[in-house]
Amino acid sequence: MSRAVSDTPIRRSSDTSQFKSVGKNPPRKESREKVTGKAKYIDDLTFEGCLYGKTVRSTIPRGKIKKITFEPGVPWEEFTVVTAKDIPGKNVVALIEMDQPFLVETEIRHMAEPIALIAHPDKGLVEKALTKVRVEYEELPAIFTIDESLSGRNIQRGRDNVFKKYHIQKGDPAPVFSRPAIVVIEGEYWTGPQEQLYIEPNGVAAVATPDGVTVWGSMQCPFYVQKGLKPLFNLPDDKIRVIYCVTGGGFGGKEEYPTLPAAHAALLSWKAGGRPVKIIYDRMEDMWATTKRHPCRTRVKTAFAKDGKLLALQVDATMDGGAYLTLSSVVLSRGTLHAFGPYACDHVTIDTRAVFTNSPPYGAFRGFGAPQTIFPLELHMDRAADRLGIEPHELRLKNILHKGDTMATGQKMEDEMDIEGILKKAMTESRYLEKRKSHREHNRTASPVKKGIGLSLFFHGAGFTGSGEVFLDSRAGLEITPAGTVRILTANTEIGQGSFTTHSQIVAEALRIPYEMIEVAPPDTAVVPNSGPTVASRTCMIVGELLRRAADDLRDLLIRSSGLSNNGYGPDEFRRAASAHAEKNGVTRVYAKYKPPAGIHWDDQTYTGSAYGAYAWACYVCDLETDLTTYQVEVKDFVAVQEVGRVIHPVIAGGQIEGGVAQALGWALYENVVLKQGVMQNTQLTNYILPTTADTPPIRVFFYENPYPNGPYGAKGLGELPMDGPAPAVASAVAFSLGGKFISSIPILPENICEILK
């Protein structure tokens, strides 16, 4: 079944000889424009008569607005000023719930919350004016931690400050813990917030009049913005047009958030009689005010037999959601569904909750809750191995899922899978066993540099959770151009992950025409169908499959109506048939609509069934050194082995893994969001520390391919997977280097290592 795509660092599909585009590495669709500087990011667009908007934000975490004063020093009469009173429709962001206002009316719930908007044609003057707006408050007591939120002493949301809870039950762990001759291990783990840190900060432009609203911007999900703006202006779908601009990264940070600046720019434009308004955050505002990864505290309790068999597992995880629900319930859901790991266990309970605090809402970030629950479980497995005196890889081998086993959700493993093969490949490539031995010997010497190696084993479910894809009801399409080429129509955005390219490869393959004959329409809600958001590792797998089906239909159409041969054709014949069709019938578009794969059932009430249609499986190994002079950790080598279905574009796929690993190493070792009154303090790149290439090890990527029947040419999702595994592998390797001293919270900073060695 599975086979390694490559044996050398990265990525060449071996046998994809039956394919012409899939498995190859054609140049990316957008790369020429980007490297020549032609690509237009939002701040490159110019608008005649443009105003520059800025957001007045709260400087207290909770309280009531008593008074807003516009102090002298700037010509206020030249400014456009918007407060909640100017909103034509409903002052709520339409997302999962309608709880977050676009502008505070009276009650402030977190620092940096938008209160008012100002705009002027002179960018610099707006900056000055911002310092002249004084807001007087009546402060109220605020809560900043999970414990404060759950203490019951300051309830601000519902009856108990809990946004959402989930419970998964398989068997009954409670009695197992009192069985004789077992080893019970408990632990508490913490993962900190993380900033997405896309290169391009959030930015939008808008023109809004009673005739309609148009928004341009840096974003992942144009239709989310459209949905968010409809109630704000009381306008129907077709009067709200949202246009994606070339976007410099998202990582989830441009999933739900852009609706806020888009609404703000549109409100200013509305008030200014339809003049275009641009709002571009600078890095400090972006880091201060926008979403971050949810912090999460997890308690894990396990019962093992002496031989290492996992008998019972209890996980209790609490995420800090911040002051509004936004996406916390779905982030929590994904965290819940990844909390039990790739292990077979008869008795499992998973309890999770997301709670309210007076912090800016936490939001979507690559991995979407899964990294937060994978870290505790995997590190717990290492601590257990240590306690049981079993090698960590053996403990895992003893407990991994095999075909026919069921997960905690009751989902039966029906696909061919080879977790063991993945684990062993990672061990071989990293020389894991040999290094554990030699590092141990080295660490007995006087050298102040200690060595460690650690691994993690995990999965990531691709696509929306449970019945999510059914609710999304996505549509994607293809259009025949008059030149006889084919244009892809989806709402899915290119945010650096290569989706325009992989989609084009899939369509080229299905139509049996060259990749160069495919173009991609820029996602614009007036042009493309709603193929769902660009999130959840779904773009290639779910939307790619819609495109593959649309391509089949398009080919059939041309065979039926335009004389395309059923027995093979060359590019020119296709071009002729397609352009003849376009000439005769005008614009022709073919759409495909989402159908759930057979046998996928999910029960939202009991949290049982098939949580995801497909899982990617992986084992990562981290080899590092800890310097006891400075307590700094240096990752020396990183091996990432994964099974992701079919690899459509090996270079892009490899890039996703490398980038995700680097991002996760940042989360594990460097990125410390310093919070004060719930809000980030270190809002500059000098003090929020990302690893640079000098801090990043060689990342050796290996793919196994095990084509997934419901994905295009067998592809599964892979974009989020690499965010999951590095942190526990790092923490385990650090513990090894410190002679078994575990640090159970990340980031693991030199200060923490210094502290534990006191």
Partner 1 sequence: MRSYLAEFSVISPRSLDEALWALKQRPAPAPIAGGTDLMVLLNAGQLPPGAYLNLHSIPELRRPIEFVNGEACFGALTTYADARRHPEIRKRLPMLCLAAREIGALQIQSRGTWAGNIVNASPAADGVPALMAYDAAVELSSASGVRSVALADFYSGYKQTARRPDELVTAIRIPVPEKEAVQYYRKVGTRKFQAISKVLLAGIMVLGKDRRIKKIRLVYASVMPYTYRARAVEAVLEGRVPDGAAIKAAVAALRSELKPIDDVRSTAAYRLRVACNLLEEFLSASSPSRGEARRG
**Among 726, 748, 747, 746, residue whose Cα is nearest residue 738:** 748
**Among 199, 203, 240, residue whose Cα is nearest residue 219:** 203
For partner 1, how many residues bind (rule: CB under 8 A)? 31
At its nearest, how many Å lie between partner 1 and the CB of residue 680? 10
Residue of 17, 178, 605, 629 interacting with partner 1 (CB under 8 A): 629
Segment lying near partner 1 (by CB under 8 A), choices 12-20, 223-231, 486-494, 682-690: 682-690
At its nearest, how many Å lie between partner 1 and the CB of residue 123? 8
Residue of 7, 127, 188, 434 interacting with partner 1 (CB under 8 A): 127
Residue 173, preceding peptide bond in cis (omega within 30° of 0): no
Residue of 39, 125, 580, 756 interacting with partner 1 (CB under 8 A): 125
Site string for partner 1, 73-112 (x = CB under 8 A): ----------------------------------------
* SS3 (DSSP) at 90: coil
User: What is the distance in angstroms between the CA of the first residue and the CA of the last residue of the chain?
Assistant: 51
Segment lying near partner 1 (by CB under 8 A), choices 164-172, 221-229, 358-366, 685-693: 685-693
Residue of 284, 433, 483, 526 interacting with partner 1 (CB under 8 A): 284
Segment lying near partner 1 (by CB under 8 A), choices 123-131, 350-358, 486-494, 499-507: 123-131
- Distance in angstroms (rounded) separating the CA atoms of residues 261 and 281: 9
Site string for partner 1, 364-393 (x = CB under 8 A): ------------------------------
**Among 323, 376, 383, 314, residue whose Cα is nearest residue 350:** 314
Q: Where are the alpha helices (DSSP H) in 473-623?
A: 499-511, 544-561, 571-585
Residue 209 as a binder of partner 1 (CB under 8 A): the answer is no
Residue of 131, 234, 565, 606 interacting with partner 1 (CB under 8 A): 131
**Among 597, 595, 628, residue whose Cα is nearest residue 612:** 597
Segment lying near partner 1 (by CB under 8 A), choices 346-354, 553-561, 630-638, 704-712: 630-638
Q: What is the DSSP letter of 542?
A: I
In the complex with partner 1, the residue whose CB is nearer, 433 or 685, is: 685
Residue of 69, 565, 585, 687 interacting with partner 1 (CB under 8 A): 687
Residue 445 as a binder of partner 1 (CB under 8 A): the answer is no
In the complex with partner 1, the residue whose CB is nearer, 307 or 755, is: 755
Counting Cα atoms < 13 Å in the Cβ hemisphere of 7 gives 2
At its nearest, how many Å lie between partner 1 and the CB of residue 76? 15
- Distance in angstroms (rounded) separating the CA atoms of residues 278 and 289: 18
Residue of 691, 707, 745, 756 interacting with partner 1 (CB under 8 A): 691
Site string for partner 1, 692-721 (x = CB under 8 A): x-xx--------------------------
In the complex with partner 1, the residue whose CB is nearer, 31 or 630, is: 630
Residue 199 as a binder of partner 1 (CB under 8 A): the answer is no
Tokens linked to 494: 């290119």
DSSP string, 302-315: EEEETTS-EEEEEE
Instruction: Give the full edge-to-edge strand order of the sheet including 296-305.
Output: 162-170, 347-356, 310-322, 296-305, 182-191, 745-746
Instruction: Report how far Cα 357 is from the mean position of its chain's Cα atoms.
Output: 22
On whether the CB atoms of residues 370 and 338 are closer than 8 A, the answer is yes
Segment lying near partner 1 (by CB under 8 A), choices 58-66, 256-264, 517-525, 750-758: 750-758
- Distance in angstroms (rounded) separating the CA atoms of residues 172 and 175: 7
In the complex with partner 1, the residue whose CB is nearer, 155 or 685, is: 685
**Among 471, 477, 430, residue whose Cα is nearest residue 635:** 430
Residue 603 as a binder of partner 1 (CB under 8 A): the answer is no
Residue 630 as a binder of partner 1 (CB under 8 A): the answer is yes
Q: Which residues contact 389 (CB under 8 A, 6 or more apart)?
A: none
Residue 44 as a binder of partner 1 (CB under 8 A): the answer is no
Taking only Cα atoms into account, the Rg of the chain, rounded to an integer number of angstroms, comes to 26
Residue 674 as a binder of partner 1 (CB under 8 A): the answer is yes
φ/ψ (deg, to 5) at 443: -65, -10
- Distance in angstroms (rounded) separating the CA atoms of residues 641 and 621: 9
At its nearest, how many Å lie between partner 1 and the CB of residue 754? 5
* SS3 (DSSP) at 725: coil
| Residues that bind partner 1 in the complex, under the rule CB under 8 A | 123-125, 127-128, 131, 282, 284, 448, 628-632, 670, 674, 681-682, 684, 686-687, 689-692, 694-695, 750-751, 754-755
